[in-house]
Structure 1
């Protein structure tokens, strides 16, 4: 079901990025398909959105805005147990977001010389929640809560329309929106949703930032529109890497690999271990557990794809180097001294430490965010957090005396760059004074 890659004889200088399993995720190729969609929405607005929704989702619409009554009805019909789970997820995420919210910082560089680093929330954001193979109601929480804690004044959310729900997004997604107080919701999916957020269409005014995971066309649209709007990342199919030694429980490891494989046939599940015995036991467990679960075919496709595999390493030391090169969206550590091993990992979207911190916990109720960088982007990008919904502004306040202290330096540096007007903008403020002609 899952291939095996032996790196025990790899040279210390090898670049593991080319050795570990990785999905083919050609965003650039998908960009050719989404460019006409983006241009059409930019020039024709709502009409283009309606056309592409009919073409790609098979849903005929006259309006893309979800009525508030539909949100209220969805919440009233929500299973009480699901509501309780959502409320706990919201509560925990609000706590971590509030703790991460940065206060303004003022630095006094001298008497009367102040620079304040001010954090300002975005004016308006667009949140994307995929439908697809699984209605990701949890993504409503993960996108909305940090935006609200950051103080964003205007929040719009889009999710694909569903034929079985009268052209509205999934009912659980609508219920979560109502629970969170988000009432600007659009039944739009795919690249046309991202273009709608960027350029505006119908009732939807343009936004400043788009966040949320999606398929390759959503990722491609976000890449194309970066610069028109801010984006969080190009999150693609989910991935999990597990670093384990002979102390790991094979049943736990297999279950966690399967948990991400059930998302999508393109999902990546990778085990890195120095224990051949564990690898063998995990293969047995994968066969047994995959056969017993609901989405067997989807899971088998993901586990059997080139993006998944069991990587055999010499020791945990080499294993750390391998997972650092892989830069997984989700990384689990099942080793001796798991905390110490986790502390040495630099590249991962989120790290789950020990046998009782599965990725599923982070998907729902850990208090962390599950919107994370994929495809190796964790080596340079971070997961979604309250910080993504704020921007920094430097506020500079200098008195005349404070400016006088550095006036000579400003003029000298301006002249060094052959920009004498820059220096004159300082000198003019002291014209006629002793030392004023600089």
Structure 2
């Protein structure tokens, strides 16, 4: 009888241990790492971490809004209780490889991170070590805190794996409209698994001097099922850009990789550059006139209401959420005589590492409602997967914008919120 009691006691103790508060807390803390986390107040910020936990393994991506944007894939990710560790690499392919290690401790809706950088050489030491203060940089802050910003977004239309013996038809012109009204263009010709064509881009307003529109031929091009792969050189011949795309109907969800020797120019924010996102969506342009959308009629009606206003001067606050150089913090604008100006926050300017005269043109690209209407008109014309605009019922200006250019990618999605609108005359 005593042996039975003793055996029961051990079983009961084991059950209690398995369901003890500390064990439950540890299990919960593991799943609580799932989601999108952002750290603000650093160069290139916000820094964004998308974490997905399966058992004790962690996968996901790291990206930022300024400098070399990324995203970069996470690897060697592990969770142990309230501690997460993972690594990523500097997104530019180079003989000098930066491996960045992150260690974070979870506390509620915050992760206290530590980061370290190791320089790895794939070949002879070139004697040039790139330095920057972003999330992938060698001189960035070693400790920071990231806060939960919601779940990891998934594409509305997942792309399945297709039969590699049946190559996709990618004939035609494919375009990607960027936040700054640049257009990345891919003119492709396919026949079975064979692929040829060119990569080019056109400049948005005010960017003509920064963009080389010369078409660059693609090479090492192939189609395998619904996957396309090709390379091209940058117009200055300083970089090699690798493209991998997954085709779904009239959309291609692309991932770029940029190969550059140490010390080579980065190419800034262009299809050939490192300062633009490495993931993007391209859509096949229609061969005939595009069908008229209800959003266009609503936009025209709202624009007519705005044009009928009896004042010229006004101010407002705009907040952007996108994988682009626009800060996520609210920006205050004042419009006088049709010209808009942003109220520069000294702290924001300092984080960019650029003088105010260099920051201002970026932030003032949409400094008036007329500029905002022009952007939305271009977005509607490209037949987005989803576009929801809420207009002010009295004045007609766009108060809320949710733009999803395609169904197979989320990195091109844009949210804009207009608040604190005031008439000044």
Determine if the TM-score, normalized by the shorter chain, exceeds 0.5.
no
The structure that is helix-richer by fraction is 1
- Report the TM range for the smaller structure's normalisation: under 0.3
Task: Report which structure shows greater RCO (CA 8 Å, sep ≥6).
Answer: 1
The structure that is strand-richer by fraction is 2
Instruction: Give the TM-score taking structure 2 as reference length.
Output: 0.25
Instruction: Give the TM-score taking structure 1 as reference length.
Output: 0.24
